[in-house]
Amino acid sequence: MATIDQQYVRYLLAHPPEKQMIRRCDHRPGFGIRYHNETLYFIYRRKIAGKVKTTTLGDASSMSFEGAVAAYQKLRHPDEARRTVEIARPKSVDGLALSTLQAAYLEHKSGQLMEKFGMTEDVARKTTQYKEVKRSLKLLSDFIGHEIAASEVERDVIYACLNARKKVYPKAAQRAGKWICSMYNFGRDRFSKDIKFNPADRLKLGVDNKPRQRALNQSELKALPTALLAALKARQAGKLGGHRQRIRYHLYVIMQLLVLLTGQRGIAVRHMLRDAINGDEWLLDAKYTKHMQYDEVVCLSSQAQELIELALRLSPESMWVFPSRDDRLSPIKRQTFSNSTEVAWKHSGGQIAPYTAHDLRRTCATVMARRPISCPRDLIDLVLGHSRPGLEQTYVLHSFVEQKAPYQQALGNYLVELWGTSYDMLLAALRQEANDFQSIG
């Protein structure tokens, strides 16, 4: 860090650095300067959702230092006056009106967008997210039909409103429920005297008919490689995207198989680090485990090791085994991985019912529990990474690798025997794609 002032900027303009550099200001959080491509820029850096976002404020050769500081203050505090303004209450209701809460939340949302993306208020109000929030909140007020105090809106009314929407646009109803819940959370923090609780909190609104807590049965499990291979062929035929899209779905196929073979959650597989793989062991970071207390050692069967090797060949320039297509420094996003399972069961020809990535984790535990593997229940809990009972969680820090490894290898052998030639054909397609990727690269 350095004390960045007008004199320091003039010095850098007169004596340009020999290489690229970034200097952060020691008394203005996030404010700094960057020398890149023989040009000096004012920048504003902040962390959003775990990622560092850099906004260029202007060219130091044409922008004054005072102008850069003013632009920085505007991004850091988008509209300070709006935060302290007193919300007027209509006389028609006793307390904070629902319309007033909606207006305040929309102002808050536009301020968030302005601060996050460095945009003006007019641009923020034209974004898709802002329009979606506005539609969601208007949905509730239109359903009620008259002015009402925000605290008097009952949970059953919100549920009836969203169910009416669900009949026409199921996913839109689910998103509307999320924004209404977020609005009440905002109101509870801002207007705590008027809103004591959130009527939309923990409101469950199912938007599909997929069964919950299910595992794939024997016939569905047997048809899984065929469905995945059909989805890969659709990619290769150009029906679902170009070459980079093909690579992306090949990684999704490998991720689904790894969830099934290791029993780990989708978030753990998505955040698999290249350096965390050591032969037949995978060191899983504690924050991606179920208990979130210590790093977990995951045993890898020979089948899982082969799949990881193919994934590494398809992502050679990233620290992640499964990097995002848009940002190689980030792992694959949760929603895109979740959508990949839908592509698979839709190509199964009706042999596989809709399933999720977590259903594959349940399938792993179910197959290990029954014959011929017959894994003890306590070892299944260890494979899944669940919390241990009593004081064992705190004092027994053994990884139990020797006990888990034989059963996980038995699971891999059982699945390969069940799948037969369909799995061999799927592996051949994955190997061919890895070879083509390396030849192009």
pLDDT (tens digit, 9 = 90+) per residue, 360-409? 999 999 999 998 999 998 889 888 888 776 666 667 777 788 899 999 99
Contact call for residues 303 and 416 (beta carbons, < 8 A) = yes
**Residue 89 scores a pLDDT above 50:** no
Alpha helices in 34-127 (DSSP H): 65-76, 80-84, 98-117, 121-124
The token duo for 108 is 């808050």
pLDDT at residue 438, as a whole number: 65
Q: What is the mean pLDDT of residues 20-37?
A: 83
CATH class of the domain defined by 218-440: mainly alpha
Quickly state the pLDDT bin for 76 (edges 50, 70, 90). Answer: confident
Give the residue-averaged pLDDT of 236-259: 71
d(CA 339, CA 360): 14
State how far Cα 417 lies from the chain centre.
34
How far is Cα 242 from Cα 32, in angstroms, rounded to an integer?
A: 40
Average pLDDT of the chain, as a whole number: 82
Of the candidates 332, 334, 314, 354, the residue with the CA atom closest to the CA atom of residue 227: 354
Interval 106-121: pLDDT, tens: 998 888 888 877 778 8
Summarised one tens digit per residue, pLDDT across range 262-317 is 999 998 999 999 999 998 999 998 888 877 777 889 999 999 999 999 999 888 87
Domains of the chain, residue spans: 6-76, 84-190, 218-440
Torsion angle defined by CA atoms of residues 345, 351, 353 and 354, in that order, rounded to the nearest 10 degrees: 0
Given this chain, do its domains 6-76 and 218-440 carry the same CATH topology?
Answer: no
Give counts: helices (H), strands (E), the chain.
Answer: 18, 7
| Neighbour-count burial of 273, counting CB atoms closer than 10 A to its CB (0-12 exposed, 13-18 middle, 19+ buried) | middle
For the segment 133-153, the average pLDDT, to the nearest whole number, is 86
Sign for the pseudo-dihedral over CA of 258, 264, 268, 274:
negative
Band (pLDDT 50/70/90 cuts) for residue 245 is low
54 — pLDDT class (breaks 50, 70, 90):
confident
Question: Hey, what CATH topology would domain 6-76 get?
Answer: Double Stranded RNA Binding Domain (3.30.160)
CB-based contact 327:319 (threshold 8 Å): no
Averaged pLDDT, 176-197: 86
Statement: residue 440 has pLDDT above 60: no
- Collect all residues with Cβ–Cβ distance below 8 Å to 133 and sequence separation of at least 6: 105, 106, 109, 179
- For 26, 257, 260, 272, 369, the CA distances from 304, given in Å and listed in that order, are 48, 8, 10, 13, 19
Phi, psi of 46 (to 5 degrees): -150, 160
